[in-house]
Every structure is written in structure tokens, then in C-alpha cells.
Structure 1
Amino acid sequence: MALNADWLAVVDERIDQKNQRFTAVGTVADWAPPTVMVQFDGSALAVPVKAFGGISAGVGHRVGLMRFGTDWAVVGSFQSPTRGFIARSIRDSASATFTGTEVIVQSVTFTAEAAANYKVTAVQSIQSTVANDVGSVRLRWRNAKTLTPANSTVITQNIPAIAASGRGVITVCIGQISGVGGDVTVAVGMARDTGTGTLQSFGAVDRQENLLLVEAF
């Protein structure tokens, strides 16, 4: 049977389809949906691809991809994002004393995944030598292994009125960190806002434990 131009076109199309890849596996180089960077297996470079909604992945995670027309899209991850407990710090000793200059009384460092959301909870005691002073309890974070009040960002803060000395008052700060990967440090800073007393964050074994907790959700 002689092959005309139409038959030859069909044969060429079938050959092209046979040579095309419609699925692939790769490693995430950067995750910022809807466009992410993935290094395909066998390639030395990461390239931009799409990502289906609802998929969570982080840098270094292995993902599966499918081709839709000319676009590649991540359709699944071989690794589940981290959930639940991440890190904590418990302080059962008194902090250094302070007045109007903020001091860091407690901190914890963890490794964050860019695709995860983190809840940070601080439960802290604050007291003064003078009743009715007002102090700030500031929940801070920085994308690094260390932080200071000068180089970090305040997530949230409480400003309690300190009724008396002794164990002081308990204050709770809750904040969220999202879209950050790598080393992350969270900390509690305190300072006196108004008043004349000397302040301190009380802590003692079996009497007062100050908590700094990080959870992923």
C-alpha cells in the first residue's frame, strides 16, 4: 500500500509521541507556589514548573511531575511535610534583671521547611520590684542560628501590668511563622515600658517553668 502525505503525517506524530516524556521525578530546589523550581533527575539545573494546589513540599523533597501540553507540574510529593512538635525550651531559673533595655530571656533554634507553617507559643513570668510597673513581653524570630533584639522581628507582644513582685504575672504570646526555610531562631524578649522598678522573669524548679514551644501545622 502506498503511503500518502496524510499517512506519513500520522506516522510522524506517533513517533513524536513515543519520544516524548509525560511523567518525571525530580528534587525541589525552591518552593514558592504556584511556580516552583525543580531539578529533574538526570539534569544538573533546576527549572521552573507549576504545582497543583494543595500539595506541600520543601527544598530537597522528592516530587513526581506530569506534563500538560508544554507545562510540567508537580502532582505529588514522596515526603509528607512535618506536622506536630518541632522544638521547645523550658527555663526553670530566673532571668537576668532588666529595666528599659530589652533583654532576651529565652530562645530556641530549629530547622524550618519552607512549605510548613509554624506556631510559636511562649508562656512566661514577669515580675518587678515595684508594683504596677508595665513591661513588654515580645515574641521574636530571625532566619538564623542566633538573634538579638536589634536584628530580629517581633511576631507579637503582650504588655502586662505587673501587680506585684514575687513570682510576678504569667503572660502568653502566640505567633506564626510561614514560608521560611533553614535555620530559624525564636526568642522571648522583655523590657520595662513604664515604672521605676527592676524587672525579672521568675523561674524555679518545681515552682515556675517558662515555656517556648514550636509546632508545625
Structure 2
Amino acid sequence: MNHAAALSTNATVVSTVVSPPPRLGRVQKRRRHVVALLSTLVLLPLMLLSGSAWTDGGAMHAAIETVGLLLAVACVIGRVACTLYIGGRKSAELITVGPYSVSRNPLYFFSLLGTIGLGLMAGSLAAGATFGLVYFLVFDRLIRREEAFLAASFPSSFGAYCDCTPRWLPRLSIWRSVDEISVRPRLLLNTLRDASVFVLMFPVLESIEWAQQAQWLPVLLRLP
């Protein structure tokens, strides 16, 4: 039997119920602190003091912003879809259906899209690439730590799952789902609230752009 067949459509639960080790929890918390620190000390000042090299109001500037907003919307929809399937069971069950059938880390993937979208919503391709690269470098190592934990927790099934499911970029041709899923409304609303920040940043960035045009904020750097 090949690895893909081993992951049947209904194989969502592994009998062992575990909790992440304290060390992994500390790593996850530390990563969140790093992201908050980078956002406060690097990304926010960059947004406030830099502007797009593309002409404000021009077609290219508008197109970049639109793509960024679409990525932010995709981030919200994608993260909510992931929560529908995983519903707080990340450490207790090996979820291999829905978004988790096409990517081992769809929550991180959609957050990456949203982070790239933030830079693009500022009208800058360079900002989008920089934001995305920073996010990837910070979280790729965390993902590998989490996968080591999952490999130890689910030794009989995680290897087969990894063999046929990409770590980051979804492979839509291998999508599998189930007839029913259990929804936890509180977790779903929390995810919607947190992910919506990506979309709500659009009016904030537009306000910064307006303040720069009114010369209330200096533009020290023009980014392509």
C-alpha cells in the first residue's frame, strides 16, 4: 500500500492523545514575541517612514495594493477554514483532511499570504517580499520543531503523512475531506478576530499614505 492510500479520507484521529512538551510551548511563545518585537521596531517604522516608489494613484500602485488586499482576504478565509478542521485538536490528533490534506501547515501558509499582503497593501513589491521573507525565516524553524514533536507523538502515521503532503505550498490535487466536522464556535470566532487584523490594516495603511501626501509624515525611503 502506498503512503497516499495509507492516509484514508476518514483518518483524522490517532488513538494517542498528547500535549506539546513545555519546551515546544516555550519556543512557540518566544517566536510570537520575536514577531511582535520585529513588528514594533522594524515593520511599523518602515511603514510610517517609507513610501511606494510607484506613482500614488497610478495603475501599478493600485494593482499592487489590490493584490495585497486579496491576499489578506485569502488569509482570513484560509485560517477560518483551517480552524473548522483542526478546532483546537492540533496536539491531540493528527489532522490529515481538508486544508491539512494539501499542506502540513496551512495555518502558517495563509498567515504568510497575509504578511506578504501587508507589504503589498503599502504599494510596494519590496515591502511584500521583505515581510514575507521575515515571516518565513521566523516560522520555518518553529514548524520543524513542531514536526519533530508530531513525529515522536504519531510514529506510525506522521511519516506517511509527510511523504505525500508538502510542508508549505499546498498541492490541491491531493485534497481530501470528510462528510462531517466538529466546530468549536469560540475558537472559530477567535481565529476570525485575529486574522481580520490583516484586512483591517488596509485602512490604516491608506491613512498613513494620506498623511504622507499631506506631508504630516516624512517619507525617508521610497520602495519599489
TM range (shorter): under 0.3
Counting helix residues as a fraction of each chain, which structure ranks higher?
A: 2
TM-score, normalized by length of structure 2? 0.19
Q: Looking at CA atoms only, which structure, 1 or 2, has the larger radius of gyration?
A: 1
TM-score, normalized by length of structure 1? 0.19
Q: Which has the higher contact order (CA 8 A, sep 6+)?
A: 2
Counting strand residues as a fraction of each chain, which structure ranks higher?
A: 1
